[in-house]
Amino acid sequence: MTLKGGYFRKYLHCDLSAGTCERLPLSDEIIAKYIGGRGFGAKMVWDNLKAHDFKIDPLGPENLLVIAPGPLTGVYLPASGKTSFVSISPATGLYGDSSMGGSFGVELRQAGLDFLSVTGAAPELSILFIDDDEEAKIIPMPQLKGKSCLETEGIIKKHLGSNDVHVAAIGVAGENLVRFACVNGDWSRNAGRTGIGAVMGSKNLKAIVVRGEADLPVVDLDAVIQETEKAMRYMREHKFFHVWQQQGLMSVIEYANTQGILPTCNFKATVFQGHDKINGETMLDRYKIGDSACFMCPMSCGNICLVKNGKYTGTVTEGPEYESCAMLGSNLGVDKFDAVLEANRLCDEYGIDTISTGGIIGAIIEGYESGVVSLEDLDGSEISWNDDGAIMELIRKIAQREGIGDTLANGAKAIIERWPEMDKLLLQVKGLEQSAYDSRVGASMGLAYATSDIGAHHTRAWTIAKEIEEGANWTPRQKVDLVIYHQTLRPLFDMLGVCRLPWIELGLNERHYEKFYSYVTGKETTLEDLLALSNVIYSLTRRINVHMGATRKDDTLPYKVREAPILTGPNAGKKLDAQEFDKMLSLYYEVRGWDENGVPPAEMEALF
């Protein structure tokens, strides 16, 4: 069935090696099966892998990069500004994706495109300029070398003589192929995880620039508006709505500390004595000067902060949010909010993931403290908890690949290869450093990290709050079912091109999205229909990972989670129950219909 709305039925394919860009038709079959966003990306990456017999260097020209908004991106409905960046990850060597908020994906759709795919490598540092429905151009701009993400955006706008463009750019970390480099857009919206910035860097692609004016194809706009007003009214009347507008995700610092899940000094502890110096209230009282929001989002969870005095006077950034503050703050023993802001700014400017950066630096500090890493390894410069000067310098060294930074820039796998004992200190799954929620408190969160298709990231499933709420009155099957539901619904949001926060934080009923999709496309669709498609995509990304060498042994958790009890706080003494986890993993595979080694049936490939 041809859908009447939601899609332009076109995508742009650029071969940077050949210097060509071509608008290609997008079939009704692909639209019907993959929806958009992450779904389109996974399908295109799968096809490219098959064409290369599943032998691809993540930093080679043959690795395909897909930038895909969804059919709801840019439509008048809550938080419809999400775009997925999909490729084979340089951090893990497996399937990788990361989503960016803001308005970049909206502009890409207004250029009349459902997604963009990029292959090859330009002969010199270049930008890709997509100007509405005109022929896309690959423009050499070697003068951008070494420029920060924000500088890059300004230089490009001046070069084009227009501020009416949206830019997704890499910083020096992407140019230097730091394996957890990110892509930055709209000042500080980032496709932060899995090293997509390094993929762009390997292609000599400094930035993607888009300008579009097309109307989006919506079948029943009146119905969309009515449903949106219902959803917006619910959100505005929610008791925590004003908290989200004031603090955004920074409100989670107090929750995580109270519950004993806040990473502290490289996850040695989960309660931070200096939490009140880096929490949302401190931000509001002393640093916040404004709000920012992604496209069509009333929650406005972005915090614009300014340091007005002291060592970092003049530092201004959008952020931090919870993950950045936890990983660059409490996880490093830092109790100075101005230092957290400066570290956040540096990561944004260099274009590196704050979660991976904080996780790696925390492990290095503990490694030096315990004798695993020597002073000579540290280039003769000591580092310790709350040592913000040394932390800033190490961030710079990682981005510039100087000294020890050259090893750290290659991520968890390379660090453990150089210092095998670091495997006991560095929290990672499949090569991706863990997000800022301690999973020793909740087996379901551990299962979520272990079975995430991109590595230890909470974006696939965030179940820890439910597990804390339920306590012991929760069966293994209930935990498994919740993890799988999250791994199905949350990626569905990425396929549709919308943010999950209205649902997960304010409880916006997910049934709204079946209506939004139905009204936009003109095809009556149920939530169950959409979830079934998302579930197939999860098996698709699992098949990708199996072909790239992943097995059950990769669906494990860090040594520290398995063997090192939490030292302090309400959960002191807790660690993962290895037997319970192993049984849950087998049950998880069974419920998904995969075999005991976590391999989906080979016949499923016929569906892809």
Q: Is 525 helix (H, G, I), strand (E, B) or coil?
A: coil
The enclosing domain of 603 has a CATH number of 1.10.599.10
DSSP label at residue 214: P
DSSP label at residue 215: P
Among candidate residues 81, 41, 289, the one with its CA nearest the CA of residue 168: 81
Q: At what angle do helices 149-160 and 337-350 cross, to 10 degrees?
A: 50
Residue where a domain terminates, one of 385, 400, 433? 433
Q: Based on the fold, state whether residues 169 and 132 are members of the same structural domain.
A: yes
Q: Sorting pLDDT into bands at 50, 70 and 90, what band is 473?
A: confident
- Supply 607's token pair: 């569906």
Mind listing the pLDDT tens digit for each residue in 138-186? 999 999 999 999 999 999 999 999 999 999 999 999 999 999 999 999 8
pLDDT score at 403 = 98
Per the document, the length of the chain is 608
Q: Based on the fold, state whether residues 566 and 466 are members of the same structural domain.
A: yes
DSSP label at residue 264: B
Instruction: List all residues 6 or more positions away from 46 whose beta carbon is below 8 Å from its beta carbon.
Output: 540, 543, 544, 608
pLDDT score at 316 = 96
Q: Based on the fold, state whether residues 379 and 353 are members of the same structural domain.
A: yes
Q: Based on the fold, state whether residues 425 and 450 are members of the same structural domain.
A: no
Residue range 297-326: mean pLDDT, rounded: 95
Q: Is 328 helix (H, G, I), strand (E, B) or coil?
A: helix
Residue range 331-340: mean pLDDT, rounded: 98
Comparing 174 with 469, the larger pLDDT belongs to: 174
Dist CA 487 CA 24 (whole Å): 31
pTM of the model: 0.97
Q: Sorting pLDDT into bands at 50, 70 and 90, what band is 33?
A: very high
Mind listing the pLDDT tens digit for each residue in 340-372? 999 999 999 999 999 999 999 999 999 999 999
Q: Is 508 helix (H, G, I), strand (E, B) or coil?
A: coil
pLDDT of residue 471 exceeding 90: no
Range of the domain at 477: 443-506+526-607
Q: Which residue pairs, CB below 8 angstroms and at least 24 apart, start in 239-247? A: 240/505, 240/506, 241/298, 241/299, 241/506, 244/299, 244/300, 244/301, 244/501, 244/505, 244/506, 245/291, 245/298, 245/299, 245/300, 245/301, 246/280, 246/284, 247/280, 247/281, 247/283, 247/284, 247/303
Q: Based on the fold, state whether residues 143 and 270 are members of the same structural domain.
A: no
Q: 315 in a domain, yes or no?
A: yes
Under a CB-based contact definition with an 8 Å cutoff, are residues 56 and 62 in contact? yes
pLDDT score at 166 = 97
The enclosing domain of 331 has a CATH number of 1.10.569.10
**Percent of the chain, pLDDT > 70?**
100
Q: 219 in a domain, yes or no?
A: no
Q: 218 in a domain, yes or no?
A: no
Based on the structure, what is the number of domains in the chain? Answer: 3
pLDDT of residue 472 exceeding 90: no
pLDDT of residue 258 exceeding 80: yes
Q: What is the residue-averaged pLDDT of the chain?
A: 96
Residue range 23-32: mean pLDDT, rounded: 97
Q: Sorting pLDDT into bands at 50, 70 and 90, what band is 468?
A: confident
Instruction: List all residues 6 or more positions away from 496 whose beta carbon is below 8 Å from its beta carbon.
Output: 35, 36, 37, 70, 71, 72, 73, 513, 516, 517, 530
Mind listing the pLDDT tens digit for each residue in 513-532? 999 999 999 999 999 999 99
Q: Is 197 helix (H, G, I), strand (E, B) or coil?
A: helix
pLDDT score at 568 = 87
Residue range 260-281: mean pLDDT, rounded: 97
Among candidate residues 491, 517, 520, 522, the one with its CA nearest the CA of residue 82: 491
